[in-house]
Structure 1
Amino acid sequence: MAESDLLQDYPVRTEISVAWGEMDALQHVNNAVYFRYFETARIDYCQAIHLMETLASMNVGPVVSETQCRYKMPVTFPDTLTVGSKVIEMRDDRFTMEYAIFSAKHQAITTVGRATIVMFDFKSGQKAAIPKVVREYITKVEARDPL
């Protein structure tokens, strides 16, 4: 199946080239590297929803509280990956993202993952509500509406 078909439900997509140095002694991408791939995709998603600009003046920001990964098949150098990201749940103070990694070499989804992102007030040291404008941006991105 084509990338566009397999990642059609993911509104934000990030292209990543596999680096030789990301492989381990078993000659595939090391398991910890996938969390960096997810981080890169998460930052792209945050840029798409203008999260950092919106929250900078409020002294509030996103903190990863939980993350997980499921490896479906090994990835090796050389390869180009596309990481799809989307928000699958929003609560008062957090949202959950889901990721899928598509391999150009294998023409398949090789890895899936999730992360829970909590809004945190750095001044008070407490969780904070997701601002209304951020909720609106997420809703627009997920609906593929231009911001």
Structure 2
Amino acid sequence: MDDLLAGFPVITEIPVAWGEMDALQHVNNAVYFRYFESARLEYFEKIGLLVNIAHSQIGPVLGETSCRYKLPITYPDTLIIGTKVLDVQMDRFTMEYHIASKKLGKISTVGQATCVMFDFKNGTKAELPEKIKQAIFSVEAMRD
């Protein structure tokens, strides 16, 4: 599995739940966005973004997200999600996710998300704090 997610500095493991499958007996397409959210939050924890929100009231909102389904996933399985940041701009950053199935031994799903920084106190777009940019660069430097 390590070779499938080489180059992803943050790895998240999620077991597939029976209730995530749909009538066609595979994980419902909308569930993958929850998997991405869990992986994204783990990345945010690594860079201290959740702590920063509490102090600054500036945090990320999703500007765009996408998913490419390559293989259907079924219960039981455990998914390993690799997360990395592809691009950092003044007010946003773009993340990429690869989901690997332990059962299949392959990448099943690929996704992206653009997180735009938002000032919740003033209701406006905000700059990505320098401290968070540096934390992203530090985490990304740990890529295999």
Same fold (TM over 0.5): yes
Deviations 1:58-81 (A, max 9, x none): 111110111000000100000000
Q: Which residue of 2 aligns with 1:69?
A: 67
SS in 2 for 1:114: strand
- What is the alpha-carbon distance in structure 2 between the residues aligned to residue 49 and residue 84 of structure 1? 15
Q: Which residue of 1 aligns with 2:91?
A: 93
SS in 2 for 1:28: coil
Deviations 1:96-123 (A, max 9, x none): 0000000000000000000000000011
SS in 1 for 2:74: coil
- What is the alpha-carbon distance in structure 2 between the residues aligned to residue 28 and residue 122 of structure 1? 38
RMSD value over aligned CA atoms? Answer: 0.9
- What is the alpha-carbon distance in structure 1 between the residues aligned to residue 114 and residue 62 of structure 2? 6
- What is the alpha-carbon distance in structure 1 between the residues aligned to residue 88 and residue 54 of structure 2? 21
Count of residues in correspondence between the two structures = 143
Query: Is 2:135 the partner of 1:131?
Result: no
- What is the alpha-carbon distance in structure 1 between the residues aligned to residue 112 and residue 57 of structure 2? 25
Deviation, 1:26, is 0.2
Which aligned runs of 4 or more in structure 1 are off by greater than 4 angstroms?
none
Q: Which residue of 1 aligns with 2:5?
A: 7
The two structures have a TM-score, normalised by structure 2, of 0.97
What's the % identity of the aligned pairs? 59
Query: Is 2:110 the partner of 1:112?
Result: yes
Check the 8 A contact 2:11/2:81 in 1, yes or no: yes
- Aligned pairs for 1:19-34 within 5 A: 19-34=17-32
- What is the alpha-carbon distance in structure 1 between the residues aligned to residue 113 and residue 64 of structure 2? 6
Name structure 1 gaps, 5 residues minimum: none
- What is the alpha-carbon distance in structure 1 between the residues aligned to residue 29 and residue 120 of structure 2? 31
Name structure 2 gaps, 5 residues minimum: none
